[in-house]
Amino acid sequence: MEILIKPLVTEKMTDQAERFNRYGFVVDRRATKPQIKKAVENLYNVSVDSVNTIVYGGKMKSRYTKGGIITGKTASYKKAIVTLVEGDSIDFYSNI
């Protein structure tokens, strides 16, 4: 099972990384906190202090078109906020 799907690179997460040494990832919905911790430590060679998880439900969206109103739902996902120990960091931009 692939635990980490993709890193979250947003303004808010970049600010948290600089201030509190926290990084965000979209993870598999079935992943547990110990599995997420182990996956981050193995992939990035860092030490993880704590893991917080959040499950986002999909939102209902609608738009108006010539043919009428189209409604749908965005995908739900699980997000993990990983706090690293002091002195460790992850550089997402090194591969670009």
Residue-level pLDDT at 93: 75
Structural domain includes residue 69: yes
| Alpha carbon distance 48, 63 (integer Å) | 42
State the Cα angle at 23 between 4 and 16, rounded to 5°.
Answer: 160
In percent, the amount of the chain with pLDDT more than 70 equals: 97
Structural domain includes residue 80: yes
Q: What is the pTM of this model?
A: 0.85
Where is average pLDDT lowest: 15-19, 31-35, 87-91? 87-91
What domain count does the chain have?
Answer: 1
Does 92 have pLDDT greater than 90?
Answer: no
Structural domain includes residue 95: no
Does 36 have pLDDT greater than 80?
Answer: yes
Phi/psi for 37 (5° steps) reads -60, -45
State the CB neighbour count (10 A cutoff) for residue 35: 17
Strand bridging mode 22-27 / 77-84: antiparallel
Residue-level pLDDT at 49: 95
pLDDT, tens only, 42-57 = 999 999 999 999 999 9
Which residues span the domain enclosing 55?
4-89
The CATH number of the domain where 65 resides is what?
A: 3.30.70.330
Number of H helices, E strands in the chain: 2, 6
